[in-house]
């Protein structure tokens, strides 16, 4: 489906009011054009479902050319999260099947933001759902823009000290969990067994924060 009640331009106008920070213009940057004719010509909100909102902006490039630019964003303003689980002096990875790549990935738990939840509440929820873990201590690791050329979404990174690993969320394509020393997980990055960007980013932030041994 697209737009608000089938009107992509009306939905675009509503989105600008709901999330104005995503439509600000910076000097010397790519300018978003918001006059009705430009928005209608570009398409506005061209697709929306419970998981994806796709926008085609009318823009003016720094050299004066007019054009369009596609952006992917979450339908909710609540930021997503990715969480590095720490169990004693070891960390936890899950083996997760990803439809987009049609393959299994070793990665850390993550999930979309939930409206009305804090980042910390979302992180605890994802750990409980994906690996059946309760949080003993949650440690913020900053934020990440996963693909600044395509999506405007921001993902919060955390490390979480947990009590144990419980039931895995098999319905979401998780078939296993691995508890291992941090150095061994870094070796998996080096040899290509870990390719997930959220996992690599959270591990890097944890290393820089002195959370690893």
For the chain (213 residues), the mean pLDDT of every run of 10, in chain order, is 67 94 96 96 94 96 96 92 97 97 98 91 96 97 95 96 95 96 97 98 97 83
- How large is the C-alpha radius of gyration of the chain? 20
Give pLDDT tens digits for 107-126.
999 999 888 899 999 999 99
The end-to-end CA distance of the chain, in Å, is 49
pLDDT for res 115: 87
d(CA 198, CA 156): 10
* Beta strands, E only, the chain: 31-33, 44-48, 53-60, 66-73, 80-87, 90-98, 103-107, 110-111, 135-144, 155-162, 174-180
pLDDT for res 153: 93
pLDDT for res 4: 45
What are the structural domains, with CATH classification, of the chain? 8-73 (no CATH), 81-209 (3.90.79.10)
pLDDT for res 20: 95
Alpha helix positions (H), the chain = 8-18, 36-42, 119-131, 182-190, 197-208
pLDDT for res 2: 53
């Amino acid at each position: 489906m697209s737009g608000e009640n089938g009107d992509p331009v009306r939905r675009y106008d509503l989105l600008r009011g709901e999330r104005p920070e995503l439509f600000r213009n910076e000097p010397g940057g790519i300018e978003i054009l918001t006059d009705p004719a430009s928005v209608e010509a570009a398409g506005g909100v061209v697709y929306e479902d419970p998981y994806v909102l796709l926008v085609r902006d009318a823009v003016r490039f720094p050299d004066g050319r007019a054009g369009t630019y596609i952006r992917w964003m979450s339908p909710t303003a609540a930021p997503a999260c990715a969480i590095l689980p720490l169990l004693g002096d070891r960390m936890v990875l899950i083996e997760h099947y990803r439809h987009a790549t049609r393959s299994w990935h070793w990665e850390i738990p993550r999930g979309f933001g939930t409206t009305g939840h804090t980042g910390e509440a979302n992180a605890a929820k994802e750990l409980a759902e994906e690996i059946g873990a309760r949080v003993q201590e949650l440690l913020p690791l900053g934020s990440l823009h996963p693909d600044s050329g395509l999506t405007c979404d921001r993902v919060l990174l955390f490390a979480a000290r947990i009590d144990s690993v419980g039931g895995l969320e098999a319905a979401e394509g998780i078939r296993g969990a691995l508890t291992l020393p941090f150095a061994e997980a870094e070796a998996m990055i080096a040899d290509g067994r870990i390719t997930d960007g959220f996992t690599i980013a959270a591990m890097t932030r944890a290393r820089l924060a002195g959370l690893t041994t």
